[in-house]
Each structure stands twice: as C-alpha cells, then as structure tokens.
Chains A and B, each alone.
Chain A
Amino acid sequence: MWTIRGPLDRRLYGAIAVGSFALWLLVWWAVAALQIVDPLFLPGPGAVLRRFVTWWRDGDLLQDARISVFRVMAGFLASAALALPLGLAIGAYRPVRAFFEPLLEFSRYLPAVAFVPVVLLWAGIGEASKITVIWIGTFFQMVLMLSEDVARVPVPQVDAARTLGATGPEVVALVLLRSALPAMFDTLRITLGWAWTYLVVAEMVAADSGLGYAILKAQRFLQTDRIFVGIIVIGLIGLATDQALRWCHRRLFPWAGVRAT
C-alpha cells in the first residue's frame, strides 16, 4: 500500500476518504463542544447547520446564491470568450506570443483586490463592476494556460496535416484546436474554481446581495456562524460545478484523460 505510485483498492480508497472527512468533522465538533477555542471564533458544526437552516428558510440564501452564481459565471464566460481565441492565437503563432506574453505574465500577478476602488470608478456600482473583478481575477491565468495547452499539441500531428496539404488556418482550426480541446476544457474547469475564490472580492464593490456580500456583512457583525455557512455554500457550489464539468469532459472526450487537479 505504501509503495510509491502503487495501486490502492478502490473501496479502501473510498473508505479512507470518507473516514478522513468524518474525522475532520469530529475534530471540528470536539474543538467547538469542548470550547478549546472561543465559540465566537469557531462555531461548531451544529451551530453552522442551524444557521444554514434559518438562513435558507427565513432569509434569502437561495437568492444570494443565485446572484452570486450569475456574477461568477458572467465574469468567467467573459474571460473565456476573450481568452479562448487569444490563447489559441498565442499558442499557434510565435509572433503573437512574443507580442502578448510580457504583458500577460506581468498582469497575472496583479492583485484583483487592489483593483476594487478603480473598478468602482470605471464600471460603477452595478453588476458590471462585480463581473469585471471576477474577470480580472481569471482572465490572465486562463489565457496563459490555454496557450500552453495549444503549444503542447504534438508536433507530428501538425506536421502530418501540413504534408497532407493543410493551410495555416486549417491547421489551427482542424488540428490545434481539436487536439488541445480536452486540455482547454480542463483548464476552463480549473479556472472556474478560481473564479469562485474572487466572489467575495467582487462583492466588495458596492454589493447589496450575494453570498460574498452576506459574508462581508456577517464579518461586520461578527456572526461567524453565518460566515461559515457562506464559505461552505460557496465551496459546495464550486465542488458541484467541478464534478459536473469532469463528467462532461469524460462524455465529450472519451479518448483523453482528465487532469489530476
């Protein structure tokens, strides 16, 4: 079992995973119940669950979740709409890569949080500003990763097409794009996960609804149980979309493996 890269029986794997989850849940419960940490700082699982129920029933958890999903998806899709063609061009043509790479490599380190006041000035207090923050957080990584996916298409695939009479654009559309598509889909799945982590930042920009807004408001009133519910709900939505996209990947590209992340 402990040989490096050795196999592990599926059921044993599942048992360990479930057991680990239960263990952490237990540790959480114990730490809270025994008041090892002040319950204000660390509400127990019971308190978090109760808050979830009341928020769902009496509050507007569903609406908050819905508007947050909208913002994340809009920002993500806006990123993808620009990153896909640009990533393809950068991966295919070296001059294009030379032109954009310095700018993009620099931009990926810019902290999206720092842009919040600027975005407020540029895009106002409506939905556009929140979507823009999410765009800033995802676009630069996405373009670079997508261009890498395209650059990793095996050279013989490209050369074979050329010796069959393919023109440059035909190679890009019929070989590079099709060959890199499974990897690009995976890149989108991974960057969607990152997009979720920018939700709270985005909803700092004059929001009055949404899960991030609810978390920020709860911070101000020190309602840590509400903060926990918000974080966990975001995590669950992210997990659900990730699993859904993995499933889609298997159906769309049966010949390709899914990336480990």
Chain B
Amino acid sequence: MGKYFHTPDGSFEALHDISFGAAAGEFVAIVGASGCGKSTLLRIIAGLESLSSGAVLVDQRAIAGPDRDRAMVFQDYSLYPWLTVLGNIRFSQRLRANGRDRRGADAGGAAERSLLLLELMGLQRVRDAYPNELSGGMRQRVAIARALLNQPELLLMDEPFGALDAQTREVMHDLILHIVAFERRTIVFVTHDVEEAVYLADRVIVLAPGPGHVDSIWATELPPAAERTQEMKRAPEFLVIERRILDRIRATSGVQKDLDALHRLTRGSTAA
C-alpha cells in the first residue's frame, strides 16, 4: 500500500512538481517556511482542493475528492458543538459511507471501537461533555479519535498541535506515538515545529516556497515509535538532524535577509 502524488497547482502556482510517496504504516512529516504550501498540499491529498496536473494515488488508484479513506485532523474549530465527546467520535457512523444502514455485528463493532478509542485517548472522564467545556488539548484528542474510528488508510494532520501550549504539545506527542504503535496507520503530518516533526516521523519532507516544491527529504532514523522517549530530543543524532532541517528551512525562507537587515540596524545604532 502506498501513496504518490505529483502536483503543480493553480494559475498562481502554489505548488510545483511535487512528487513523493509514503509506504504503508509510515509516518511522514512535512515542514517548511511559511507560504511554502504545506497545508495546501495536505488538502490536495485529502481531496479538499483540486490539482491542476498530476494525481494523488492511494494504492495505485487516483482519488476523486475527499473520502473516508483519508481522514483529516484540523488545527481547531472542527468539533461539532451540539454533540458530546462520544457523539463527536461516533459522528462518522451517521454517514451512509460508513454503513449507517448496516445492522448487527458491524454496527456493534464501531460502538466497541469508539469506547476503545475513548480509552486510548484518555477521554473516558469527559465522554458526555460538550466541546465547549474542554481544553484545547482535549478537543484535539477528540478530533483525532473521531478521525480514527473508521480506520482510514491515511490519517492526515494539519498542524494539529499548533494552537496548544508547549506542555500540552509534549503530552500529545507521546499520545501520537502511543497511537502509532497501537494502530499502525499511514500518517502525513504537517507542522512548522521541526522538533515535533523529527520526534514523531519516520521521514521529514522539507518544502520550500516560491512556488512550493520539495527541497529535501530526511530519514529520522529513530527507534520505532513505541520506544521513543522525550530524552531522545536531546540526543546528538536528533539535534544534528533537527539543526540541518532548520538550516534548510532558513535558507529557503528569506529569513536570512531579514536577519542581515536587523544586524545592520543594530550595528548602526550602537555606532551612533
């Protein structure tokens, strides 16, 4: 099972000639400077935006719009306020695509799985709470559980922890690794946080802007998900990869020009 895509996109060329693949069960992170088009790329994979040329292939079949095989987790505001936590997680069961009209054993299976996900995400205590009563971290856990209920082939995550504070983010990282070890799903994860990308992923793809294109691809070469720990974020190998990726992003983002200008400013004022 694999996924490939090639994509130029739009009359304003947002993405140019992107081509890469992900193997089954692989965790691929996409990072890059602002405006490089990583969210656009993810949305194209999800089928929420269209391609100008090329195709997204899942298992060698071209996709045609969004579907349940590519579930997506958004940064915020995606939960349904009129449903409880459990209601949100089970939402997909109301859709015909997921066998809304099915009866018997299959339907029971989904109910069981939703309770399992509730436990996996640590949401048992809030199963009957409404989203507006939850913290940002808990809401994202619900969003992830909701996306996982129907066992999608691909889990897409668009900066899911971007709105969370650093401590919550650390907890979420280990939660994701826990899920990856448990569920073995193919994941494509967009983030601007390089440390997060290296910690979670098997491979990190660096996208550069102007127009968006693949700059480099890095293998993280860390132990399997189940064995990763927060201490590894300080290991030399980890820091090396992280530093190199950050340098690539800086080189492609135009931040260097801003820094040079800033240096000239401050040097000028001390001279005066």
| Inter-chain contacts of A261 with B (CB < 8 A) | none
Interface size on A, residues (CB 8 A): 22
Given contacts A163-B70, A165-B92, whether A156 and B97 have CB atoms under 8 Å apart is no
The stretch from A105-113, A170-178, A208-216 touching chain B is A170-178
| Inter-chain contacts of B68 with A (CB < 8 A) | 163-165
Of residues 10 through 52 on chain A, the ones whose CB sits less than 8 Å from some CB of chain B are: none
**Is B48 interfacial (CB-CB < 8 Å)?**
yes
Given contacts A156-B76, A156-B77, whether A164 and B48 have CB atoms under 8 Å apart is no
**Is B91 interfacial (CB-CB < 8 Å)?**
yes
In the bound complex, CA of A26 to CA of B117 (Å): 65
- Chain B 26-60 near chain A by CB (<8 Å), digits 1 or 0: 00000000000000000000111000000000000
| Inter-chain contacts of A253 with B (CB < 8 A) | 82
Inter-chain contact B96/A167, CB cutoff 8 Å: yes
In the bound complex, CA of A192 to CA of B122 (Å): 46
In the bound complex, CA of A98 to CA of B75 (Å): 31
| Inter-chain contacts of A222 with B (CB < 8 A) | none
Which of A154, A167, A255, A256 makes the CB contact (< 8 A) with B97?
A167
Of the listed residues A160, A162, A167, A178, the one surrounded by the most CB atoms of chain B closer than 10 A to its CB is A160
In the bound complex, CA of A138 to CA of B68 (Å): 42
In the bound complex, CA of A162 to CA of B91 (Å): 12
| Inter-chain contacts of A256 with B (CB < 8 A) | 81
Of the listed residues A163, A165, A179, the one surrounded by the most CB atoms of chain B closer than 10 A to its CB is A163
Inter-chain contact B77/A154, CB cutoff 8 Å: yes
**Is A166 interfacial (CB-CB < 8 Å)?**
yes
In the bound complex, CA of A256 to CA of B80 (Å): 11
Least CB distance, A25 to chain B, in whole angstroms? 41
Of residues 118 through 152 on chain B, the ones whose CB sits less than 8 Å from some CB of chain A are: 130-132, 143, 146-147, 150
Of residues 103 through 157 on chain A, the ones whose CB sits less than 8 Å from some CB of chain B are: 154, 156-157
| Inter-chain contacts of B131 with A (CB < 8 A) | 255
Closest to A257 in B: B132
Inter-chain contact B81/A159, CB cutoff 8 Å: no
Closest to A175 in B: B80
Inter-chain contact A165/B95, CB cutoff 8 Å: yes
- Chain B 209-241 near chain A by CB (<8 Å), digits 1 or 0: 000000000000000000000000000000000
Inter-chain contact B72/A165, CB cutoff 8 Å: no
Closest to A169 in B: B96
**Is B264 interfacial (CB-CB < 8 Å)?**
no
| Inter-chain contacts of A156 with B (CB < 8 A) | 74-78
In the bound complex, CA of A170 to CA of B132 (Å): 24
| Inter-chain contacts of A255 with B (CB < 8 A) | 81-82, 130-132
* Range for the number of chain B residues in contact with chain A: 20 to 34
**Is B98 interfacial (CB-CB < 8 Å)?**
yes
**Is B205 interfacial (CB-CB < 8 Å)?**
no
**Is B94 interfacial (CB-CB < 8 Å)?**
yes
Least CB distance, A186 to chain B, in whole angstroms? 15
Inter-chain contact B80/A179, CB cutoff 8 Å: yes
Which of B75, B77, B97 makes the CB contact (< 8 A) with A165?
B97
Least CB distance, B185 to chain A, in whole angstroms? 14
Given contacts A159-B48, A255-B132, whether A164 and B98 have CB atoms under 8 Å apart is yes
Closest to A170 in B: B95
**Is B66 interfacial (CB-CB < 8 Å)?**
yes
**Is B112 interfacial (CB-CB < 8 Å)?**
no
Of the listed residues A154, A160, A164, A178, the one surrounded by the most CB atoms of chain B closer than 10 A to its CB is A164
| Inter-chain contacts of A166 with B (CB < 8 A) | 95, 97
**Is B193 interfacial (CB-CB < 8 Å)?**
no
Inter-chain contact B82/A165, CB cutoff 8 Å: no
| Inter-chain contacts of B92 with A (CB < 8 A) | 164-165
Inter-chain contact A157/B78, CB cutoff 8 Å: yes
**Is B247 interfacial (CB-CB < 8 Å)?**
no
Inter-chain contact A163/B82, CB cutoff 8 Å: no
Which of A160, A163, A170, A181 makes the CB contact (< 8 A) with B96?
A170
Least CB distance, A172 to chain B, in whole angstroms? 13
| Inter-chain contacts of B72 with A (CB < 8 A) | 159-160, 163
Interface pairs (15), CB distance under 8 Å: A156-B74, A156-B78, A159-B74, A160-B143, A161-B95, A163-B48, A163-B67, A164-B95, A164-B147, A165-B92, A167-B96, A170-B96, A181-B82, A253-B82, A255-B82
A-B pairs, 6 with minimum CB distance:
A165-B68, A165-B97, A156-B78, A162-B66, A163-B72, A156-B74
A165-B95, A254-B130 given. 9 additional CB < 8 A pairs? A156-B75, A156-B78, A159-B72, A159-B78, A164-B95, A164-B97, A164-B150, A174-B95, A255-B131
